[in-house]
Chains A and B, each alone.
Chain A
Amino acid sequence: MTREENVQKQLAGRFPEVSATIRIARERRIFVDVPEKRFIEVLDYVREELGFPILCLIIGLDEGERFGIIYVLSSSDGNIVTLKRHVPRESPVIQSVYDRLPNSEIYERELADLFGITVTGLPEGPRYPLPDDWPAGQYPLRKDWKPEMLGSKEAAINE
């Protein structure tokens, strides 16, 4: 049995509700959709017990009704598990994983700035990557955001 199938079997055994969504895209790539309720549990399990301690990246996705958030976890032998969770567009709130994975800070700040997802539990710090005087309520990576939505002041800076 390959490493990927092993991961699939263990994960499905521990969390039956995700078993249908595990997809081995190619060698070393495993995609999993995780229900929001059990997300942290699954994350910890994959991280600690399946041996994927490295957080490569957190990706935000605008899927219309809801936001998808993908956590890309990697093992030291080159395998990648991506865990995807969903939050509703009206109340996009997630708990930070900063206490588990200290390098998540910058990716979570990006989620907050570019998607308007509220991340609770982050330490105090500067915003990233938008400027400090960026108008509130403008989240550039949402699909319904257009550059024209910026006021004339911001547009003038770019001329």
Chain B
Amino acid sequence: MAQSLFNIIVFPGFLFLCLAGVCAEYFDRIFHARMQNRKGPPWFQPVADFIKLSAKEDIIPEEADSFMFRAMPVVAVAATVTSFLYIPLWGSQALFSFEGDVIVVLYLLTIPTMTFFLAGWYSTSLYASVGAVRTITQLFAYEVPLFMAVLAPALLADSWSLSGIAAYYRAHPLYWVFNLPGLAVSLVILLGKLEKVPFDIPEAETEIVGGVFTEYAGRYLAFFRMTIDIEMVVASSLVAAVFLPFGLGFGSVVGFILYLLKVTAVIAAICLLRTIFARLRIDQMVDFCWKYIAPAALLQLLVNIVLKGVLSQ
């Protein structure tokens, strides 16, 4: 019991993820800034932002549904933190695992997006509503390719649990190379999931002010921002676990360092993509996902089905 509580609250649960999220945000911001030829924020900036926001007044619009408005940030954080418990960080064993947890993790990672939608919808403000509709439109565009891309390595490993996938690739060290197209697909989709340029359409500042977060202030906004930071870590860890399962058998110290490097590389790749593109329009985004990303994910699936046939002989 005490062990479980420690796992959920301290490591690798909430507190660890908060710390990791803050570091990830800092890394993302400074890397972005350096690529844009700026100096970037000081190292404590994400923490300072969090503290500053938490100290501000919480304003709940009169028209908004007060309960939903306050509940959504908590639900978002809870869902993201929970999904992290099923992801193997180093070695091949996650904290909890069961056959089929890869589906659960993917669904848990959908929940923050759904809470963004609900938060925007129940804010009842015009900008927030437009942002909410955009969030959900975008979700429909990237969710299917994401599932296809993540399930392809699982198919090859013949296991529906993340730990099982990791164990398979640990046993067959070079097989992860087959999944590189899926890695590319999931990196692009992460941009949509984390709402970063070119897919930051739901919160496009110059178009719809703050999108779904327009009405949010103070603690609740701080929670949402923390969710996005944590989501960045969790989603990067998921990508690292599924698509970059190499070097798993070197013990926990080397494994942890390797894990950090993998996550950093994924975040750096996302950051690079968001630096070199302009924001797309929602119709262009949907077109792009169905025309290029979904076929690429499908191709990965087909390749893995064929590979499985060939390798099992």
Assess A/B contact in the complex (Cβ within 8 A): no
